[in-house]
Amino acid sequence: MLRIGFVLTTLLVNLSLTAQITTNNNPPNEGGGTLVLIDRPAMKVSSVSWDSTLVYYVREGKRRQKSMDIYKVYSYKKNAEEETIIYHQDTLEGNWYTAEQMKDYLAGQNDAYAMYKSKANKTAAGGVMFGFIGSATGLFYGPLFVIGYTAWKGNTKPSLKEEYGFKPEFADNPYYIEGFGTMAKRYTIRRSAIGSAAGYILGAVTLSLVIR
């Protein structure tokens, strides 16, 4: 009886410890701060926690908790001085860069996000003209002008100029350049598509009024 009691007691203790370890895999709720995301703008949150696969967060001003894959998050910043790195290198998930290399990548991304809009807006203006001209070719060929212009600008190399946010001191840093270029291309493609589509619609409406 004593042996059976000892065995049962040992099992209960082990189960209790296992439950405690599983629970502690999730860090305590960190409160408000900023999630630094990969290939996306940073996100203000009112609360955040994470485990080995997901990050759980509530966006600032919202009540509903959401989650995202942990591989999409670089770090959590509680304030300007406190930053917890969540990112870790995992080639199976496509995270080829080390944490330090990813930091440079994100620096380029953020600089393009802050300053490349002016360059992308020029692309949008050209798209309006291109789409307007394309509308005159009819319903079949017209949309090809929109698609063609967007593809053309999307395959154009980003402008690595200081006036558009590029920092010359990173000119030899391939990770910074990659981050800057990725965000710059995203802006360019988006603005090209919007501008050329708007031009096409404007041209089609103008032609319909003229024909009437």
**Cα 58 to Cα 188: distance, rounded to the nearest angstrom:** 30
Give the tens place of pLDDT for each residue, 34-53: 999 988 888 999 999 998 88
Average pLDDT over residues 193-203: 85
- The residue type at 39: D
Beta bridge partners of 196: none
Any residues with CB less than 8 A from the CB of 84 and at least 6 apart, and which?
Answer: 30, 75, 76, 77, 78
If one compares 45 and 207, the residue with the highest pLDDT of the two is 45
Q: What is the DSSP string of 46-100?
A: EEEEE-SSEEEEEETT----EEEEGGGEEEEESSSS-EEE----BGGGTB-S-HH
- What the block records as the tokens of 132 is 């307007």
How do the domains of the chain map onto residue ranges?
A: 25-93, 99-211
Q: Please, are residues 164 and 118 in contact by the beta-carbon 8 Å criterion?
A: yes
Q: What is the greatest pairwise CA distance in the chain?
A: 100
Give the tens place of pLDDT for each residue, 63-106: 899 999 988 999 999 877 788 999 887 776 667 888 899 999 99
Residues 127/132/137/139 CA torsion (nearest 10 deg)? 90
